[in-house]
Homo-oligomer: A and B are copies of this chain.
Amino acid sequence: MRNKQATIQDIAKTLNITASTVSRALNDHPKIKKSTKELVWATAKKLNYQPNTIASSLRKGKANTVGMIVPRINRHFFSNVITGVESILNPAGYNLIICQSEESIEKEKMNINTLIASRVSGILISLSLESTKYEHIKHAIRNNIPVVLYDRICDELDVCKVENDDVSGSYELTRHLIEQGYRKMMWIGGTRQLNTYTNRFAGYSNALAEIGIDAEKLPIFEGSISLETAYEFMKTYLDENPLPEVIVSASDYMAMGAIVAIQEKGLRIPEDIAISGYSNEPFAGLINPKLTSVEQFSKEMGQETARLLLGQISSEIPSKVKQKIMIRPKLIVRESTIKSKIIKSI
Q: How far is the CA of A260 from the CA of B282 in the complex (A)?
A: 14
Q: Is A55 an interface residue (CB 8 A)?
A: yes
Residue of B nearest to A2 (CB): B144
The answer to whether A51 and B117 have CB atoms under 8 Å apart is yes
A228, closest chain B residue (CB)? B346
A221 CB–B CB distance under 8 Å: no
Specify which chain B residues have a CB less than 8 angstroms from the CB of A263 in the assembled complex: 288
Interface string of A65-98 (1 = CB under 8 A from B): 1000000011010011011001000000001111
Question: A63 — which chain B residues lie within 8 A by C-beta?
Answer: 54
A97, B100: Cβ atoms closer than 8 Å: no
A114 touching B86, Cβ below 8 Å: no
Q: Which of B5, B54, B100, B282 contacts A118 (CB 8 A)?
A: B54
Size of chain A's interface in residues, with CB distance under 8 A? 46
Flag if B286 contacts A260 (CB, 8 Å): yes
Contact B114 A95 (CB under 8 A): yes
| A82 nearest in chain B by CB position | B73
- With the chains together, A143 CA to B54 CA distance in Å? 16
Residues 163 to 197 of chain A near chain B (Cβ within 8 Å): none
Q: Is the CB of B260 within 8 A of A346?
A: yes
Contacts of A119 in B (CB 8 A): 52-54
A301 within 8 A of B: no
**Given the complex of chains A and B, what is the CA–CA distance between A73 and B76 in angstroms?**
9
Contact indicator B50/A143 (Cβ below 8 Å): yes
Q: A144 CA to B3 CA in the complex, in Å?
A: 8
| A283 contacts B by Cβ under 8 Å | yes
Q: Taking the complex as formed, is A220 at the interface, i.e. its CB lies under 8 A from any CB of chain B?
A: no
Instruction: State how many angstroms separate the Cβ of A287 from the closest Cβ of chain B.
Output: 5
The answer to whether the Cβ of A58 comes within 8 Å of any Cβ in the partner chain is yes
User: Does A46 have its Cβ within 8 Å of any Cβ on chain B?
Assistant: no
Interface members, chain A 90-145 (any B CB < 8 Å) = 95-98, 100, 113-114, 116-119, 142-144
Name the residue on B nearest A259 (C-beta): B286
In the complex, what distance in Å separates the CA atom of A231 from the CA atom of B76? 22
Whole-angstrom distance between the alpha carbons of A86 and B98 in the complex? 10
Contact of A96 among B2, B54, B97, B287 (CB under 8 A): B97
User: Given A51-B117, A73-B79, A283-B286, 12 more contacts at CB 8 Å?
Assistant: A50-B113, A50-B117, A50-B143, A52-B117, A54-B57, A54-B119, A55-B58, A73-B82, A97-B97, A231-B346, A283-B283, A288-B288
Can you show 15 pairs from A to B with CB atoms below 8 A apart? A50-B113, A52-B58, A53-B118, A54-B58, A54-B118, A55-B58, A74-B76, A74-B80, A79-B79, A97-B97, A260-B286, A263-B288, A283-B286, A283-B287, A287-B287
